[in-house]
A and B are shown apart, each in its own frame.
Chain A
Amino acid sequence: MKVQIDSKLCQGHGRCYDLAPDLFGEDDEGYATLTPLTADGNVPDGREGDTRLAAANCPESAVLVFEEAVNDRR
């Protein structure tokens, strides 16, 4: 699974980093960021549920979840 934050959509509701604080962080103004765990866009194994939870709670649909690892075609 892959994840991105669409920073143009993010309005700083803070739902993602409250619900999954190791997967999502916040900048100085309170807008969402990825964290060292997710910075490469990959969701750690076993954390798919938390990622979906964060996405489901985002009022702006700014947590973009890609269910299939689309680049994983080795």
Chain B
Amino acid sequence: MSSQTVVVVGSSVGGVRTAQALRREGHVGRIVLVGEESTEPYDKPPLSKQYLAGEWALDRLALLTPEAIAAADLELRLGVAAVRLDVAASQVVLADGAVLDYDHVVIATGAVARPSPWQAGSGVHVIRTLADVDGLRADLAAGGPVVVVGGGVIGAEAAATIRTLGHEVTVVDPLATPLARLVGPEVGRPLEELHRRRGVDTRFGVGVEGIDGSAGNLTVRLTDGAVLTAATVLVGIGAVPNDAWLADSGLLIDNGVVCDRYCRAVDSDHVWAVGDVARWQDPRYPAEVRVEHWTNAVEQGAAVAHNIVHAEDLQPYSPLEYVWSDQYDWKLQIVGHASRGGRFEVVGDLSADPAKAAVLYADDDGLLTGVVAVNWPKPLVTGRRALNAGATDFEEFVAQIRALFAKVSAPAAP
């Protein structure tokens, strides 16, 4: 495939790492990386943390060094969105009218923040991109209380960051505890307590009725009748796949690009999808899944690169889910499934300050299904290996992690 061209659409982590993986897998033709934003490709996880806090400048977020671009021989087309995919002609059409012919195209356009359903004059933000966070920072600089709507990863991390910057912060979420889509109350309640200890007013189990006013003078009406005043509101209520540009492509688009088990669009052997925009047939599950985690974008990019370069050795993609979140001094890591099934064991103490603990989860058959670790990577990586190996006896695993905990929590020798 020496003369073949792969066009990768999307310059966030999924697209960038796919492009690099193609070269690593031995692709020798052109690799063109298209990105809507003119900024050099940047990593998004720090946006709600170090970048929002002003601790890191933009250059710390770079996904590619000039050396890495040269090593992978990438052609970057930044600052111009792809506006149309012509599957029949094998062409990507860009906003400036340019047309890119491809042999394979990888759709890695990610997701966009779900827009706020509550309209106000100004001062209501979502965060997803660098520009979003710059806009939020500009309003935060004027001071005043902040209401964060949504206690998921983005909302909870941003609340921690904004509180640490010194603002009064209130978090509102109709679910019972923070990160409720990832972890149960056994982790969510201690996490909520951490926010409260740090001075955040938390309103879980309460929804938002409406937001009125404008920047510096907003009111947030809650479903329990309470009214909060805020200078700035951040709405973090999830993301939706960035697939509107594919509406007339003829591809099956349904909450993302619908793909087979090889992450190849069900309609074309030359169209692939990676990251938040990809909904693929994971062989473990009855229906297609879409995963918005950073590591999924990177691993799926590697899988797609392999499948493009080694068409004779197509590999189904079936990753072990892994996600992390940093809030105050909590480094929270989650592998596998922590929120399903009822049985769990806690090793260590999540309510200690600082916390150091792991929560281990089992299914009805007594097998390990997931691990949540706080400020303690060892049980997480131990659990990931066990989950990859499969059929790990839960009681034995609990004993193993308890022994690890006894080892690291023993007083140091005098």
A residues with a Cβ closer than 8 A to B are 11-15, 17-18, 26, 28-31, 49, 52-53, 56-57, 59, 61, 67-68
Contact = CB atoms under 8 A, between A and B. Distances in A.
Contacts of A15: 295
The 9 lowest CB-CB distance pairs between A and B, nearest first, are A12-B377, A30-B377, A14-B381, A30-B378, A67-B67, A49-B24, A30-B381, A56-B17, A67-B71
B102 interface: no
A50 to B, nearest CB: 9
B45 interface: yes
Nearest to B21: A56
B264 interface: no
Given A12-B381, A28-B407, 12 more contacts: A12-B331, A12-B333, A13-B295, A13-B324, A30-B380, A31-B377, A49-B24, A53-B21, A53-B24, A53-B302, A59-B45, A67-B71
A56 B380 contact: no
B181 interface: no
Contact of B20 (A14, A52, A61): A52
Interface of B, secondary structure class, is helix
9 contacts: A11-B324, A13-B324, A14-B384, A18-B381, A18-B384, A29-B378, A49-B24, A52-B24, A59-B45
A30 B324 CA distance: 15
Given A29-B408, A52-B24, A56-B21, A12 B380 contact: yes
B209 to A, nearest CB: 37
Interface in B329-362: 331, 333
B198 interface: no
B43 interface: yes
Interface string B17-35: 1001100100000000000
B24 A14 contact: no
A56 B298 contact: yes
B377 A29 contact: yes
B331 A30 contact: no
B71 A11 contact: no
B68 interface: yes
B380 A59 contact: no
B377 A11 contact: yes
User: Looking at A17, A52, A59, A61, which has the most chain B CB atoms within 10 Å of its CB?
Assistant: A59
B376 interface: yes
Interface residues of B, number: 31
A14 B326 CA distance: 16
Contacts of A67: 67-68, 70-71
A9 to B, nearest CB: 10
B231 to A, nearest CB: 32
Contacts of B67: 67-68
Nearest to B60: A61
Nearest to B326: A11
Nearest to A15: B295
Nearest to B71: A67
B164 to A, nearest CB: 18
A49 B310 CA distance: 17
Given A52-B24, A57-B298, A59-B294, A30 B376 contact: yes
B385 interface: yes
Contacts of A56: 17, 20-21, 298
Contacts of A29: 376-378, 408
Nearest to A17: B381
A12 B270 CA distance: 37
B327 to A, nearest CB: 13
A7 B376 CA distance: 15
Nearest to A11: B331
B94 to A, nearest CB: 26
Contacts of A53: 21, 24, 302
Contacts of A17: 381
Contacts of A26: 378, 381
Contacts of A59: 45, 294-295, 324
A11 to B, nearest CB: 6
A14 B407 CA distance: 20
Nearest to B63: A61
A53 B322 CA distance: 17
User: Looking at A14, A29, A61, which has the most chain B CB atoms within 10 Å of its CB?
Assistant: A14
A18 B387 CA distance: 13
Nearest to A66: B67
B386 to A, nearest CB: 12
